[in-house]
Amino acid sequence: MRQLTQGFLGAFLFFGASLVYAQADQGVDVDADDGIELAQASEEGSMAAYDAVLRQLSGLVIYNELRQRQIDNQLQEVEDIRVSLEQVPDIEQQIPPLLVRMVEGLEDFIALDLPFLPVERANGLAELQLIMESPDVSDADKMRRVLDAWSIENEYGRSVAAYQTQLDVDGNGNLRAVDLLRIGRIALIYQTTDEAADTGAWDPARNAWIALGNEHRNSVRQAVRMARSQIAPEIVLVPIPPSDQ
């Protein structure tokens, strides 16, 4: 009986040891799987972080290239401004002679033009010449005034106007009150305001006023009223003296 009991105890101990070893082996297997999964997860996280870094680096490269182009453009603008500033003294020296030539050209233009608004245009030219000689007026303001004067003269050629004035239509020194009709720079026609309503026009070829026939009286009177906006515009035939060219 003692031998049987000892044998049973020995088998139990062997079985218990085997069970311990089996549990120990199972524990090792479980720990290894967990390590593999952790390694795979770590590798996947590293790849995702690497991709994120690459995307960020690519964005920074594009941004730096854009900023570099902007800097290059700004440097070019700075260089252009520097060159312009170096040229300012030369340009400033050329402005006064240019203004003088423009005023002289305007004076010649008025002298050769149709003789309308002679007093107003002469006064404007005289004032402009005084401004050119004034040291208190800047070159920029002088240029603006000259350009304004030329702009006014240019507008005369694109407009129709009528006003009252006095003319020596007969060439004998006697002034007569007339309605003067200007059609651009094509024609300058007068009609006396008295009952005679004598009609005439400026002849560039003769550089003098010439009389027109009474057949033009009504058409000229109608054109004068249209120029003053007294009647609605319509087609009207008026005499146009031939050009001197």
Q: Which residues, other chains included, contact 167 with Cβ-Cβ below 8 Å and sequence gap of 6+?
A: 175, 176, 178, 180, 190, 209
pLDDT of residue 200 exceeding 70, the answer is yes
CB 201 within 8 A of CB 241: yes
pLDDT at 14: 39
| Mean pLDDT of the chain, nearest integer | 81
pLDDT at 19: 40
Distance of CA 54 to the CA centre of its chain: 45
pLDDT tens digits for range 87-133: 667 777 888 889 999 999 999 999 999 999 999 999 999 999 999 99
Least confident of 102-116, 180-194, 224-238: 224-238
Distance between CA atoms of residues 57 and 168, nearest Å:
90
CB 235 within 8 A of CB 170: no
pLDDT of residue 151 exceeding 90, the answer is yes
Q: Which two tokens stand for residue 39?
A: 């390694």
Q: Which residues, other chains included, contact 103 with Cβ-Cβ below 8 Å and sequence gap of 6+?
A: 125, 128, 129, 132, 146
Q: Which two tokens stand for residue 154?
A: 């240019």
Highest mean pLDDT among 18-22, 89-93, 241-245: 89-93
What letter represents residue 78's amino acid? V
The pair phi, psi for residue 229, each rounded to 5°, is: 60, 30
pLDDT of residue 244 exceeding 60, the answer is no
Residues in the chain: 245
pLDDT of residue 217 exceeding 80, the answer is yes
pLDDT at 239: 82
pLDDT at 38: 56
Instruction: Output b/e per residue, 173-190; b: 16+ Cβ within 10 A.
Output: eeebebbbbbbeeebbbb
Q: Which two tokens stand for residue 225?
A: 């009223």
Query: In the chain, what are the domain boundaries?
Result: 91-154, 159-227
Sheet holding 187-192, edge to edge: 160-167, 176-183, 187-192, 199-203, 208-211
Half-sphere exposure of 228 (CA within 13 A, CB side): 13
User: Who has greater pLDDT, 72 or 149?
Assistant: 149
